[in-house]
Every structure is written in structure tokens, then in C-alpha cells.
Structure 1
Amino acid sequence: MERKLRVITIISMLVVGAIAGSLLNTTADGASNLATPGTTNDPVVTKSYVDQQIQKALGNGSSSEPSNPSTPSQSGDEIKVVTLKPGKILIANAGAEFIVRSGKAVIYTQDSNGVADLTAGVDLLNGQVAPSNHLLSFPREGRGIKVKDGVNSNLVVMVRGGYTLQNQ
């Protein structure tokens, strides 16, 4: 008898739970607050619009001018392949990124801070070897790379962002 009472109690609890669950069926927290994509509450925008708004917010509609107008420069997301001859220094604009594809490169900087090697997760200081195929980030102007002293071959560097070429 006691066993029957226990089974009936368990079954009735499950039935009551199922009924209560169906009556109290609600969406997950926060899901009801989502707007339908493409409406005025959640508009769909293009990348170019977002980039334009970021440029307006930063207050610079165009990239900074290079220090020497006769040397090449670029900005944006375009990647350019640059060949650097011995005796030249490839100076990055703030925020530029370099990848040394071939040749022996060293870091060039006039201050005590260095260049971020994002691939290895280290900071490279003036005169240290810039490893091939590593993504190098230049947080400020005035830092760059050059051909290692004593090496006569050129460097081939992929560049994203602005840069200038200077003589050593």
C-alpha cells in the first residue's frame, strides 16, 4: 500500500510539473528584448558605413601625411609588398603592421620601447632580429625595420598601414 502511495505521489508531481511548465512557458531571459534584424531598433549597416563613422569619430578623414612626400606611403587595410635595400629604413606610421617575408631584418627605434611581435607575444627592442613570417605591430611612429648590418641582400616586407622610407 505504501509503495502504491509513493508511485501515485511521484506520478502526480510529474503531471503537476508538466502542467505548470506549459502554463509558465516563457522565453529565455533577455530573448524577448531582441529586435528583429533590419528594423529601426536593430538596423543592418555596411562595413563602409561603420568605417566612415569611425573616421568621423576619430576626427581624421584621411591618413597622416608622410614626413617626406617623395617616399611611398599607404594606409588602410590594403597590404603592399615593399622591397627594402640595404642602407634604407622602413619607418612605420602609428598602427602599421609588417611581416618580413625574406631577408635578414632588425628592429629600428630611437627610444627605449620596441615593437610588438604579435606572433611570438614578445616586445622586440632596437637592434633585435625581426623574425621572418611574424606579424609585427608598430604602436607609434618613428619605429621600423632595416636590413641587418653586414647583409647585402634586400628585404621583402608585407606592409599594412602607412610607412616611409629613410636613409640610414
Structure 2
Amino acid sequence: MKQKFFLTSLTLTIGILIGVFFTVTFSGAEIPEPGTDGDPIITESYLELRLSELNKTLLYKIEEIKKSISSTSTNVNSYEVVNVKKGDIIYFGGNAEVILRAGEATAIAGKNGGIADLTTGIDLASGDKVVLNHLLLIARDDGRGMNLISDAWIMVKGNYTLKSSKTE
């Protein structure tokens, strides 16, 4: 009887296993592979919607950065052309860059030194003639400037104060 019970159990177990195998294999209940057309990870419409939202956000951020850069660059990197008259005195702020484009002027040194002529590499003391088209650097805001001998055009990047020779 033990042998009959064992044989029946074995036959029944094998039958169940074969049945399960055929059911899974031939029932059409395939489990699609993830990431394929049968089982996409996300839908195309969802992806397009999210990409559109991200694109709008990115374009907005780019425009903000462009505005920030353009406002900064116009304030920092542009020269102002100043027309000064004979007898005027112009004082420059610290870190100002100056180019005498036309006319004649003499340097006014500050308490801590003269005006750096970056073109020739010399330091202009008070009374030294300023050469046309030389790039001058004002290192400190300590009273450095130019005394105009004739009407002149000066390009200035940075702060300056113009003292007119005319009394009003």
C-alpha cells in the first residue's frame, strides 16, 4: 500500500507540474520584458508632457541668466565718453580705467601715488603730461585725476567727478 500511495503521489505531482508548465507556456499570458513596446516604463504622452514642462522651465531660467549677464556687463564693461573743457578738473574713483582720446591734460596724483599708465608701464606723477590713447588705471579713490589744458574727449570706465572751471 505504501508503494501504491507513493506512486499515486508521484504521478499526481508530475501531472500538476506538467499542467502548470503548459498553462503558463501556451495560455498567451506572457509577461512582457520591461522597457519594450509590450511593457513601456512610461507612456509616450507622459514623457512628452514632462519634457515640454522642463523645456519651458529651462528656457525661463536661461532668459533670467541672460538678463542678469547683460545688465552686469553693460554696467561693468562699458566706457563712457566724456567731453571736458579747458580748465576743468576730473577726479576718478578707485579701479577706474581712463583713456585720453583727444586734447591735452596733466596728471593729478593722489595721496598714495600717481596714475598707472598701463601702456608704457610708468607711474604718472602730478604735472606729468597724459599721452593720448594710453590706458590709465586709477588704483585708489584718493584724489587722482586730470587737469585739462585744452578741450578734450576722455573715455572712462568707472566712477568720476567733474569739477567745471566755469563759475555758475
Higher strand share: 1
- Report deviation, 1:113: 1.1
Paired position in structure 1 for 2:125: 125
Offset at 1:90? 1.1
2:109/2:124 contact within 8 Å kept: no
1:19-58 alignment runs, 5 A limit: 48=68
Distance 1:113 1:126 in 2: 9
Question: 2:105, 2:148 within 8 Å by CA — same for their partners in 1?
Answer: yes
Q: TM-score, normalised by structure 1?
A: 0.51
Partner of 1:137: 137
AA in 2 matched with 1:144: G
Q: Could you tell me how far 1:110 is from its partner in structure 2?
A: 4.3
Runs of 4+ in 1 over 4 A off after TM superposition: 46-49
In the alignment, structure 1 segments of 5+ residues that lack a partner are 1-45, 53-74
Cα distance in 2 for partners of 1:129, 1:112 equals 19
**Letter aligned with residue 105 of structure 1:** A
Deviation at residue 78 of structure 1 after TM alignment: 1.6
CA root-mean-square deviation: 2.5
> Larger % of helix: which?
2
Q: Which residue of 2 aligns with 1:155?
A: 152
Aligned residue runs from structure 1 range 71-82, under 5 A: 76-82=76-82
Return the letter of the residue paired with 1:101.
Answer: R
Partner of 1:109: 109
* Residue 167 of structure 1: how far off its partner (Å): 4.1
SS in 1 for 2:163: strand
Equivalence for 2:96:
96
TM-score (normalizing by structure 2): 0.51
Identity %: 39
Partner of 1:28: none
Letter paired with 1:158: M
Letter in 1 for 2:162: L
**Aligned mates of 1:163, 1:85 — CA distance in 2:** 15
Count of aligned positions: 97
